[in-house]
Amino acid sequence: MKFTKMHGLGNDFIVVAKEQALPDQVSILANRICDRNFGIGADGLVYLLPSDQADFSMRIFNADGSEPEQCGNAVRCVARYYFERISSEKRELTVETKAGIQRVWIEGDTEDRQVRVNMGPPILAGLAIPTRIDAERVVDHSVWVGTEGEEQQHFSFTGVSMGNPHAVIEVKNVEQFPVAKWGPLLENHPIFPRKANIEFISIRSEDELEMRVWERGVGETLACGTGACASLVASYIRGRTDRRVKVHLRGGELIIDWKETDGCVHMTGAATFVFDGVWLG
């Protein structure tokens, strides 16, 4: 199987193109091929497939074999792949995902190429995110994590869906925060019926924030596009930032802009080729 390794700010993917359908037992394959010791190593396995509704469709499988609804960094990667490897006929593309059809723009020349994605409007209603909270918005909701007899920790989270569920938590110093300790407990908390991606953020200013993420089905990654979008939305509705911010992640920076005109969130950032190869497993 031919593949291309790509990453969006260090959130890395094995991209497979020119297939007509998903292979059998794709979840098992994703788990094997993403293994960093016995496979190629990646956060996810991504397929570019034909679409009747868009320029192409994208299906992504996490390193644990689960299939998320959406992945902002993967969308940027596959859009650049399509533009440079399949058709450079147009710079505005449409991509079919499980979260819906997204519009993508290829910006800049090859060396400093950026990809902008219309991630659509955020979903803020508690049950639709989904959480088990029946509220129009889930803002600074209290939750406790930990097991009986062990350390308990209180958090306040704001819930946002960008086609996939997110819980955004502001902390004083995100760089020193023990993400690996609390991330998995929050991801699997009963309040999230389909689990959740957990973003820990620190606000630098009204137009800058810093973020680390514990991704559902993966663990801590260097970047998360939908998580950056969710973090901006949560910060804005809490009165902490403007509608446009620069999000600093461990793998780089994203510009997130929540448009007032139509309520859609736009994400702009890099997508990088690493190498091509053939999987023999």
Catalytic residues: 71, 224
- Residue 230 structure tokens: 């969710």
Q: What is the C-alpha to C-alpha distance for residues 43 and 22, in angstroms, rounded to an integer?
A: 18
Label each residue of the chain as H, E or C: CEEEEEEECCEEEEEECCCCCCCCCHHHHHHHHCCCCCCCCCCEEEEEECCCCCCEEEEEEECCCCCCCCCHHHHHHHHHHHHHHHCCCCCEEEEEECCEEEEEEEECCCCCCEEEEECCCCECCHHHCCCCCCCCCCCCEEEEECCCCCCCEEEEEEEEECCCEEEEEECCCHHHCCHHHHHHHHHCCCCCCCCCEEEEEEEEECCEEEEEEEECCCEEECCCHHHHHHHHHHHHHCCCCCCEEEEEECCEEEEEEECCCCCCEEEEECCEEEEEEECCC
Q: What is the C-alpha to C-alpha distance for residues 154 and 149, in angstroms, rounded to an integer?
A: 15
